[in-house]
Each structure stands twice: as C-alpha cells, then as structure tokens.
Amino acid sequence: MLLNDIVVVLSRTQDSGNIGAACRALKNSGLSWLRLVNPDPVDEEVVRIRAIHAVDVWEHARYFDTLKDATADCPLVVGTTRRRGSKRKSVSMDPAQVAAFFRNHPGRAAVVFGNERTGLDAEELNLCNIASHIPADNAFPSLNLSHAVQIYGYELFRALSSAGPEPGHWIPLDPDIRAGFVRRITDSLELLGFYTQPGREEQERFLNDLFARSGLSLSEASYLRDIFVKAAHLSIKKSGTVIVPDSSQL
C-alpha cells in the first residue's frame, strides 16, 4: 500500500478548526485524501486559517451523507476508538500496528475518526473491519481530533513513505559493518604496537559489544575509525617505517 491509497474520513465533525488542523496533519504526513461525513455547518474561513499551507487538502475534500457511502470504495476500513464492549470490536491495533499492517496490504484503505465528543458510535464501528486506538493514560484517554489524525499520519508516513531516511537521520550499524569497523580499528592499533602479547581477539569482542550498546551511527563509527587510522599513519610517518599499511584494510 502507498500513502496515496489511504483516505482519512472525519465523521460528524463539529469543529471547523479541527477540520483545518486535520488538513495540515495530513499534508505533514504525505496524505492527500480527506472525506467528511455529515459535518456540522463548516466555517470555511476557520478551516483555511487552521489549515495554513494545506488548504489544497481542504479544497479537494469530498462530502458524504453516510459513512457507508464514504468508505464504499475502500476494501479495508479502520475505525479509531478507545471503547470496547459487546457491540464493539474485541481487539484493537495501535497506530504503529495499523501502519505495519497497511505496509503488507494492497489496495485502498480508509482510516475513520468519529465525532469530537462521542467518537464513532457502535453502528459506525460495525462498518469498519479493524478497530484502532491510541494508547493513553486511563485517567484522561481522550485526544483532540486533529492530534489523533497527526499521530496516525506520522506512523503511516514512517511505514509507507518511499523517500528513505532524511539527511542526518540516525541509522544503526549493521552487525557485519560494525565488525568491519572494529577490525580496521584493531588493525590500526596493531600498527601502533599493540598486541605484542595475545589480546586482539578479546579487544575486538569488547569493542564490538561497546559499539552495539552505544548505538553508533554509520557516520559516527566512520569518524571514530578515521581517528585510529590517522594515528597509525602519523606514527608510521614519524618513525620512518617503510612498511605502509594497505589502505584497503583501513
């Protein structure tokens, strides 16, 4: 599934400001399709003010009289609710689980949000295939509508965006790459005169475990490796040693 396959449905919305803020949340998350089911009279000026630079989402929004009509072209419908009961879904996914499920599910899907005061009623939820909730403190579990849309949008974007990591994004080291860095560091240490006695294997285990626990990024590990490589080269140059290490091993 792609982000463009997902429609967000707001059912019986009361606050025009929430509609505008939801438009902004959708655009932040790479989502484009908004559907409104029987909202209270909408103050378009308020919507546009709250949407700011996401007015295009509002301008392309579609209106429907019923939730059934709004989701008729969606083989998969997720209803957001914090309530459980005999007339409601017995199990529920959190936003991250929904996003992971969508990643392996082809076709169009809808994520449905209910009225700000009462949420989705039992009849609306029965039109949905999956129930979903946002984990929150039981003492105050109700979230603002636009905040809830933002949370789902964030998880969907993370799971379905094809843009890849942003520049500077932390990427943990793959174990094989980490082992390669460790070997290059201990190669440099050996050139500096370490390991005249047995101990290199033990130190490699130590460094590998240390790097894993510290969660070094690729750029951080590269920087650290280069410090040891440069130290080895400077030592060789200063001592006038003829044996120069193979750069492919550093």
| pLDDT (tens digit per residue) in 111-166 | 999 999 999 998 999 999 889 999 998 889 889 999 999 999 999 999 998 755 56
Domain boundary among 137, 160, 183: 160
The residue among 243 and 88 whose pLDDT is bigger is 88
Average pLDDT for the chain: 88
- Judged against a pLDDT cut of 60, whether residue 108 lies above it is answered with yes
Question: Does residue 242 have a pLDDT over 70?
Answer: no
66 with 119, same domain? yes
What single letter denotes the amino acid at residue 166? E
Q: Is 10 a domain residue? A: yes
Do residues 99 and 181 both lie within one domain?
Answer: no
* Residue 46 sits in the same domain as residue 146: yes
pLDDT exceeds 60 at position 54: yes
Among residues 93, 125, 160, which one ends one of the domains?
Answer: 160
Any idea what the CATH number is for the domain that residue 127 is in? Answer: 3.40.1280.10
Share of the chain above pLDDT 70, in %: 89
| Same structural domain, 103 and 225 | no
**Percent of all residues in the chain with a pLDDT value above 90, rounded to a whole number:** 59
Q: Residue 159 has what pLDDT?
A: 92
Q: Are residues 179 and 116 in the same domain?
A: no
Report how many helices (DSSP H) and strands (DSSP E) the chain contains, helices first: 10, 6
Would you give the DSSP letter of residue 119? B
Q: Is 234 exposed, middle or buried (0-12, 13-18, 19+ CB in 10 A)?
A: exposed
Residue 180 shares a structural domain with residue 152: no
* 226 has a pLDDT exceeding 90: yes
Confidence (pTM):
0.71
Instruction: Answer yes or no: do 135 and 180 share one domain.
Output: no
Q: Does residue 248 register a pLDDT over 50?
A: no
For residue 116, the SS3 value is: coil
Residue 63 and residue 1 in contact, taking contact as beta carbons nearer than 8 Å: no
Local confidence band at 169 (pLDDT 50, 70, 90 cut-offs): low
Query: How sure is the predictor about 245, in pLDDT bands with cuts at 50, 70 and 90?
Result: very low
Is the pLDDT assigned to residue 11 strictly greater than 90? yes
- The domain in which residue 34 lies consists of 3-160
The larger pLDDT score, comparing residue 122 to residue 45, is at 45
Residue 170 lies in a domain: no
Residues 155 and 187 in one domain: no
Q: Cα(176)–Cα(132) distance, rounded to whole angstroms?
A: 38
Is residue 166 one of the residues assigned to a domain? Answer: no
Could you tell me if 75 and 185 lie in one domain?
Answer: no
By C-alpha distance, which of 61, 11, 13 is closest to 41?
13
What mean pLDDT comes out for the span 220-231? Answer: 90
Shared-domain flag, residues 49 and 139: yes
Confirm whether 168 is domain-assigned: no
Question: ∠ at Cα 135 (39, 139), nearest 5°?
Answer: 90
Do 119 and 10 reside in the same domain of the chain?
yes
How high is the pLDDT of residue 88?
Answer: 65
